[in-house]
Structure 1
Amino acid sequence: MEKSKKKELLDWFIAIAVAVVFVIAIRTFIFSPIVVDGSSMMPTYEDGDRVIINKFSKQISGIDRFEVIVFEAPIGEDYIKRVVGLPGDSISYENDILYINGEALEEPYLDEYKEKLTDHAPLTYNFNLESLTGYKEIPEGYLFVLGDNRRKTTDSRDPNVGLVPMDKVLGTAKVRFYPFGNLGIVR
């Protein structure tokens, strides 16, 4: 009887150890939760939202324009921003319209925010990539990112952030799991 209790205890210990290793591996290499800190991604993400980072997505399919990513910022924090420019892109903003390689692109995720503006000023002030970074096109291995709350964000327009090296990208942020009333996939 004593031997069977030891075996059962050992079996439980092994099962728990395997589960712990499995959870740590998933969190380290595939998914990780983060808390949005600040208003830079409003209205897409609010201060205090809990989001799942998919770390695996950048290895499988790469990063697409307009995806929301989390990256290691040069000032020692992790930032959550939207990818606007990819390697080889020339970017400019004129009259609140985004131009990529000379072509105007819509940003429907900003419509809600633009509707709430009462001062009749643009959400995104005019700029071009060269005046901000000295590059006419985004170099290979880098991304240009913007916060959705364009007036209150620190993003690639800020010289302290600048272009984001792809090797500093932690993953994409597509799933909000808190607050529960806003649970789901975010575009």
Structure 2
Amino acid sequence: MSAEQNRLKAFLEYLKSMVLLALAIILFFTFGMSHNRIPSGSMISTINIGDHIIVNNLPFYYRLPKKGEIIVFHKGKELWVKRLIGYPGDEIDIREGNVYVNGERIDETSYLESEGISTPIMQPGATPIAFPMTVPDDYYFLMGDNRLGSLDCRFEEVGMIPCKDIVGKAWVKIYPFNQIGLLH
């Protein structure tokens, strides 16, 4: 084989490697990760209007979402972002503005600005559900961190979220740059 043929063969091997790498990256970001811009204030102050997040679409292929995780899900044609509060079969109650799951008050101090704010308040066009309530099979109960301004599972218009509509876990905030970090 001539030197020129060796160079051509090496170049084609390099080109093949780059095409495979590009394909792997495209597949990873198509099925493994996605980028979302937040359009509403339902998760303030954890995630604000205009923030950009990376969603990890992989964890829920091999495990159930964990309570307290920030979940991305389909609601109609839109993607919504809320925090997981209750599993199928859990009894959810809101008393004196605090959330109880199966009779136990949950500690939300790590992500809520103040306690006692979870009672659904009347919003135009929104009807609060009656508590206590039990999450149906194959559904989750989710709420926004901005409890005074979030349209979520506390309202009939949203209802419970089917397990099949879960897309992934809100993983990292990437913009604004001074707030880059993991989402909890």
Answer whether TM exceeds 0.5 for this pair. yes
1:136, 1:39 → 2: CA distance? 26
The superposition leaves residues 22-73 of structure 1 with CA deviations (integer Å, 9 ceiling, x where unpaired) of 1122112222221122211000111122212111111222111111000000
1:180 corresponds in structure 2 to: 177
What secondary structure, in the 3-state scheme, does the structure 2 residue paired with 1:65 have? coil
Q: Unpaired segments of 5 or more residues in structure 2?
A: 122-127
What secondary structure, in the 3-state scheme, does the structure 1 residue paired with 2:24 have? helix
1:79 corresponds in structure 2 to: 80
* TM, length-normalised to structure 1: 0.83
**What does 1:16-165 correspond to in 2, within 5 Å?**
16-74=18-76, 76-112=77-113, 114=114, 123-125=117-119, 132=129, 136-165=133-162
2:60, 2:149 → 1: CA distance? 27
Contact 1:69 1:80 in 2 (8 A): yes
1:33, 1:148 → 2: CA distance? 20
Greater helix percent: which structure?
A: 1
With over 3 angstroms needed to count, the CA separation of the structure-2 counterparts of 1:6 and 1:185, relative to structure 1, is same
Instruction: Give the counterpart letter for 1:83 in structure 2.
Output: L
The superposition leaves residues 68-114 of structure 1 with CA deviations (integer Å, 9 ceiling, x where unpaired) of 0000002x1000000111111111111111111122112113442x2
Aligned-residue identity in percent: 30
Contact 1:144 1:163 in 2 (8 A): yes
Contact 2:98 2:105 in 1 (8 A): yes
Q: Unpaired segments of 5 or more residues in structure 1?
A: 116-121
What secondary structure, in the 3-state scheme, does the structure 2 residue paired with 1:84 have? strand
Instruction: Give the counterpart letter for 1:107 in structure 2.
Output: E
Q: CA deviation at 1:126?
A: 5.3
Instruction: Give the counterpart letter for 2:5 in structure 1.
Output: K
> What number of residue pairs does the alignment pair up?
176
What secondary structure, in the 3-state scheme, does the structure 1 residue paired with 2:25 have? helix
